[in-house]
Chain A
Amino acid sequence: MGSMGWGYVAVMAGVTFATRALPATLIRSKVTNRFLRSLLYYVPYVTLAVMTFPAILGATGVPAAGAVALLVGIALAWRGAGLFAVSGACCASVLAVTLLAQAL
């Protein structure tokens, strides 16, 4: 790591700032290309979904706990629970299932 470390920091911060600030400062008129608009519209959902599953199953030591966390998270988010509530409930369900698995 060593000298590479701050380089990594600079790349992560630089690219993140560029994606947020460049359109907000340079674009003064609406994006009109329909395909591009649609593509950018779907990107967040696909990226986050792909990153969530199946990774959530392997995140904890117990795949079943990850599966329960996924279902609990989807159910709560579906019912309109906020960021904090969904996140906390996922953690709590992993804790519960893992403890249960250890007890059995």
Chain B
Amino acid sequence: MATAVIGTQTTDVHAGELAYPGTARLGEKGLGLFREGLAEGVPIALGYFAVSFSLGIAAKMSGLTLSQGVVTSFLCNASAGEYAGFTMVAANAGYLELAVMMLIANARYLLMGCVLSQRFSPDTPVWMRALIAFDNTDEIFAVNVAHKGDVRPARALGLMALPLVGWAGGTAVGMLVGGVLPKLLVQALSVSLFGMFLAVIIPPARQNRVVAGVVAVSFAASLAASVAPLFSAAGEGVRTIVLTLAISAVAAVLFPCPEDDAEAGEA
């Protein structure tokens, strides 16, 4: 780094770095990484604001208060998980039912957590690992692991800052004005989460025929289950749990992923 600075003193960034010699260097570097993360988080935060708006409507309909809904959103930052959770809350589900549903809806984070665990440098303290994992959403995970080498805590923290605000803010606005918006607009916004889900599952389906087949089978099975007499009576939460485990297990037996694919696919 020092050699590069000497060799290219003309650029502003390097000149700035020269102005903070010695011990200040580390802090500057951390701040730079944090800012880099912040910038990467801007589009994610904007997207989250839009989709968490309809989560706010779902939270409102579930009967939670404004503060309860916003705190839930801030602490969860999980589209599918929150959507499933608010649906259960609206149905006055028990805590255990809700916990099982959240676990199923968030099951993918177990794998992402495993991948993330492999990317921390050995000297990253446990509390920092937990803090970064706290906001290990699909999109933030994707950005973090797309960087070469170990996850840099400063950059990871910068990355999650704005999306957290966007997510909680969108939920608040959705809960506050979702009820007074024209019905037409609310109907239109109600598909924004589904759009987000499609943006997560379709690109990998394009690259991997097995994933494409799994998605198609899931669509068909879900449709069949929603009209089948016994199954449709079981409720949406139970249907999602049963279908997810059954289809994933069958796919895992028939098409076990090659050793490195599980990570590559998720990233």
- Residue numbers of A with Cβ under 8 A of B are 1, 4-9, 11-17, 19-28, 30-31, 34-35, 37-56, 59-62, 65-66, 69-70, 73-74, 76-78, 80-92, 94-95, 98-99
Contacts and interface: CB of A to CB of B under 8 A. Distances in A.
Contact of A53 (B84, B132, B136, B219): B219
A25 B103 CA distance: 18
9 contacts: A8-B64, A19-B109, A23-B113, A31-B111, A34-B256, A46-B251, A48-B197, A50-B222, A82-B199
Contacts of B211: 42, 45
A60 B187 contact: yes
Nearest to B199: A86
A38 B256 contact: yes
A77 B203 contact: yes
Interface in B175-196: 183-185, 187-196
Given A48-B201, A51-B240, A41 B111 contact: yes
B257 A90 contact: no
Contact-residue size bin, chain B (C-beta under 8 Å from the other chain) = 35 or more
Given A87-B50, A88-B50, A15 B103 contact: yes
B252 interface: yes
Given A23-B111, A40-B114, A53-B222, 6 more contacts: A34-B256, A45-B211, A47-B80, A47-B104, A85-B199, A94-B190
Interface string B224-238: 001000000000100
A22 B113 contact: yes
Contacts of B261: 41
Interface stretch (B7-15, B33-41, B71-79): B71-79
A83 B75 CA distance: 21
B129 to A, nearest CB: 5
B244 A50 contact: yes
Interface of B is mostly: helix
Interface string B201-218: 111111000010011001
Contacts of B76: 12-13, 16
Nearest to B111: A40
User: Among the interface residues A7, A91, A92, which one has the most CB atoms of the partner chain B within 10 A?
Assistant: A91
Contacts of B202: 73-74, 77-78
A96 to B, nearest CB: 9
B195 A49 contact: no
B111 A43 contact: yes
Given A37-B262, A50-B243, A56-B194, A27 B201 contact: no
B198 A54 contact: no
A52 B226 CA distance: 12
A76 B206 CA distance: 12
A19 B107 contact: yes
A98 B112 CA distance: 38
Contacts of A80: 203
Nearest to B187: A60
User: Among the interface residues A37, A73, A90, which one has the most CB atoms of the partner chain B within 10 A?
Assistant: A90
A73 B114 contact: no
A20 B113 contact: yes
